[in-house]
Structure 1
Amino acid sequence: MRNVTIKDIARLSGVSVATVSRVINNNGRFSEETRQKVLQVIEETGYQMNFSAKSLRMNRSFTIGILVPDISNYFFADVVQQIEEKFFELGYSTIICNTARNSDKEQKYLTILESKSVDGIIVISGASEEGIEFNFEKTIPYICIDRKPKDEKNTLFISSNHYQGGFIATEKLIELGSKQPVIVLHQLLTSSSKERAKGFVDAMKKNSLYFDETVNQLILGTEQDDITQQVTDFLTKHPETDSFFTTNDILALKILKIVKTLGINIPASLKVIGFDDVPSSQYSTPTLSSIRQNTEEIARVATKSLLAFIDGDDKQQGKQILIPVELVSRESIE
């Protein structure tokens, strides 16, 4: 059909024009059956909304900005993809900005997004440990994921419960017989890594194990450093080490490879748990146990909350939402 109008959609769907409008704009009351019926007719007829007129009428651009520090990172990429899909279903387009963990680039992207009159912004993590700064000339609703902003009162902070992840991973290792667990951290500590470390320490304390930084903590350097040598030296110096909890899966997978070359049996002599549950965890040898973040729930809450902010509902401003995590057990501990 050509030049299909909203009246045509209403007639073919067997509902009123007002109901079609509510479905298209995703507001007001209508049943899921009605929504599906209208959307099916829209798809079959190839109906195209006039977004320019709609934007002028509602004073919206129907565009969302997403700032991400590293699009190649599995966790960030997964969250971004799910957020983009949820906004697309609601009639919004997204502008995805990869900041490469660079503060200057981050601020430039914020300026660009403001100039494009986006309706809202989702910031996933941030380049600076102190948190991202927002210096908009006009008010733009925004949500922060994974790292708190400098000023929390005007936003909502959403994060996985990193402390819980560190705690349940460590307690599982202890439950399986570990007497000298070790937390493995990257030299560039983030707020999420620190929370995971707190969980590790508290799990040891709960199980009457003394935490000693020199014995129960291994901080690895950057990619340029010889990580293999660092791990080898640590195990040589502390042969009683019987388990590793790493603050991300990349470190865990590297340790699996290194330990294997040293002839140490996993999991009989050494157990390993990572964090993030990246796809490659299922294909390593042995397969890697890991803490899984609920990216679908993070995306759902972020999308719903930002839309509420855009609609003027600021009840959640200044609050924090922690999303529970879970342990996925595989061969590295079994």
Structure 2
Amino acid sequence: MAFVTLKDVAQRAGVSAAAVSQILHNKGRFSSDTRQLVLKTVEEMGYVPDQRARSMRSSDTKTVGLLVPDLRNPYFADLVSSMEDELYARGYSTLIGTSAETVERQDAFIGNLLGQRIDGAIVVPQGVESPGVQSLIKRNLPLVFVDRRVPGVESVPFVVSNPYTGIREAVEELVRLGHRCVGYVSHPSLGSFSVNERETAFRAVASDMLIEGNGVVVACDSTYESRTAAVESLLDAGVSAMLCAYSPDALTMIGVLHDRGVSIGEDMSLVSFDDIAAFTLMTPRIAVVSQQAELMGRQGVDLLLCRIRSGASDEGVTHSVPTMFINRGSVKQGPSAAVAG
């Protein structure tokens, strides 16, 4: 069914389009009968005002663009949900897109956003100063980056998590339980500054905690074969606990460990970044380093709406949300504790 227009309502009610517009905005001098007729006709025909036309007459559109890498990733789904809920509560609608972890898809969506009349954008960037990112900045559109940084871009505020706090809490607990050979799974192929920063944090914390060899660090990409190879490397190294920087890696590796007859929470302690729902539904439940996605989302929205209202650039400011370790059944006593007992 075609959209009902203002002219359609006017024709049905037997009045001018200008009269319908004025009555809908509670303006003009019209009899009570005429007003009631027009409002009844609007209701019967299901007329909805054209927001695009309205935005052309207004300085704002009450619409914000949201771009994340992958909506299939539960962490980003939670992040988008928190931001969309907060924006809706503030009277804003959203245009949501995904980059599929590629710069090309990211820049294509940015191009589409710039063709819309939006008030601002919240972006989880791919970590490079791409042509699309440059276009957003040059347009002087209110803009906030969330979850990931773009090295070299200092004109856009960031809301990012601090990986050191949660990783330190997790490693301290593993050491307390007797784990001395701890593995870490990185994911450098993402090209994410934030994900790579987690490896730096783990190496620093492992060194402080006197972990054997400062921890065993392996890398993988998003393929099953790469993740399986990473698990095999950690098993060969004799680790009794492992920490995953990227939750999709952990989800695959849990299955790989099961297939190898390695019992999580007994033979291997496991911690993953991101407090996604799937981890709480497993047996045992998976311990996590939470980035507090809901808090990050709210802060990103607060910062963007402040920029929209004031026009302030807030250049060079990074808003950091501390990560936190949430212990669950996937973390048990390690070999050193058993020997000591």
Scaled by the length of structure 1, what TM-score is found? Answer: 0.76
**Is the aligned partner of 1:194 residue 2:196?**
yes
**Is the aligned partner of 1:85 residue 2:75?**
no
User: What is aligned with 2:60?
Assistant: 60
User: What is aligned with 1:168?
Assistant: 169
**More displaced, 167-176 or 144-153?**
144-153
User: What is aligned with 1:116?
Assistant: 116
User: What is aligned with 1:98?
Assistant: 98
Aligned-residue offset at 1:315: 6.1
Separation (CA, whole Å) in 1 of partners of 2:141 and 2:304: 10
Aligned-residue offset at 1:205: 1.7
Shift of the 242–142 alpha-carbon distance from structure 1 to 2, 3 Å rule, reads same
Aligned-residue offset at 1:228: 3.4
**Is the aligned partner of 1:149 residue 2:150?**
yes
Q: Secondary structure at the match of 2:64?
A: strand
Code of the residue aligned with 2:109 in structure 1: it is Y
Q: Secondary structure at the match of 2:211?
A: coil
Tell me the C-alpha RMSD between the 2 structures: 2.9
Q: Secondary structure at the match of 1:225?
A: helix
What are the Cα deviations for residues 231-272 of structure 1, in whole angstroms up to 9, with x where unaligned? 23541x323x11111112333333333333434444344211
Aligned-residue offset at 1:54: 6.5
Q: Secondary structure at the match of 2:86?
A: helix
1:143-292 matched pairs, under 5 angstroms: 143-186=144-187, 188-189=189-190, 190-211=192-213, 216-225=216-225, 227-228=227-228, 230-235=230-235, 237-239=236-238, 241-292=239-290
Separation (CA, whole Å) in 1 of partners of 2:76 and 2:221: 22
Shift of the 106–278 alpha-carbon distance from structure 1 to 2, 3 Å rule, reads same
Q: Secondary structure at the match of 1:66?
A: strand
Shift of the 171–198 alpha-carbon distance from structure 1 to 2, 3 Å rule, reads farther
Separation (CA, whole Å) in 2 of partners of 1:150 and 1:219: 22
In structure 2, runs of 5+ residues without a counterpart are 1-22, 28-47, 333-341
Aligned-residue offset at 1:221: 4.1
Q: Secondary structure at the match of 2:133?
A: coil
Separation (CA, whole Å) in 1 of partners of 2:234 and 2:241: 13
Separation (CA, whole Å) in 2 of partners of 1:220 and 1:54: 49
| Contact persistence 1:167–1:196 (CA under 8 A) | no
What are the Cα deviations for residues 195-220 of structure 1, in whole angstroms up to 9, with x where unaligned? 211221122222223545xx611223
Scaled by the length of structure 2, what TM-score is found? Answer: 0.74
Separation (CA, whole Å) in 2 of partners of 1:169 and 1:191: 21
Shift of the 301–176 alpha-carbon distance from structure 1 to 2, 3 Å rule, reads same
Q: Secondary structure at the match of 1:134?
A: helix
Separation (CA, whole Å) in 2 of partners of 1:53 and 1:238: 64
User: What is aligned with 1:311?
Assistant: 309
Code of the residue aligned with 2:323 in structure 1: it is V
What are the Cα deviations for residues 94-127 of structure 1, in whole angstroms up to 9, with x where unaligned? 111222223223222222212212110110132x
Moved over 6 A (4+): 3-7
Q: Please identify which structure carries the higher helix content.
A: 2
Aligned-residue offset at 1:58: 4.6
**More displaced, 101-110 or 286-295?**
101-110
Shift of the 54–174 alpha-carbon distance from structure 1 to 2, 3 Å rule, reads same
| Contact persistence 1:164–1:199 (CA under 8 A) | no
Separation (CA, whole Å) in 2 of partners of 1:305 and 1:135: 20
Shift of the 261–178 alpha-carbon distance from structure 1 to 2, 3 Å rule, reads same
Q: Secondary structure at the match of 1:188?
A: helix
Code of the residue aligned with 1:192 in structure 2: it is S
| Contact persistence 1:164–1:196 (CA under 8 A) | no
Q: Secondary structure at the match of 1:311?
A: helix
Separation (CA, whole Å) in 1 of partners of 2:252 and 2:101: 23
Separation (CA, whole Å) in 2 of partners of 1:275 and 1:73: 12
Separation (CA, whole Å) in 2 of partners of 1:53 and 1:109: 23
User: What is aligned with 2:12?
Assistant: none
| Contact persistence 2:129–2:153 (CA under 8 A) | no
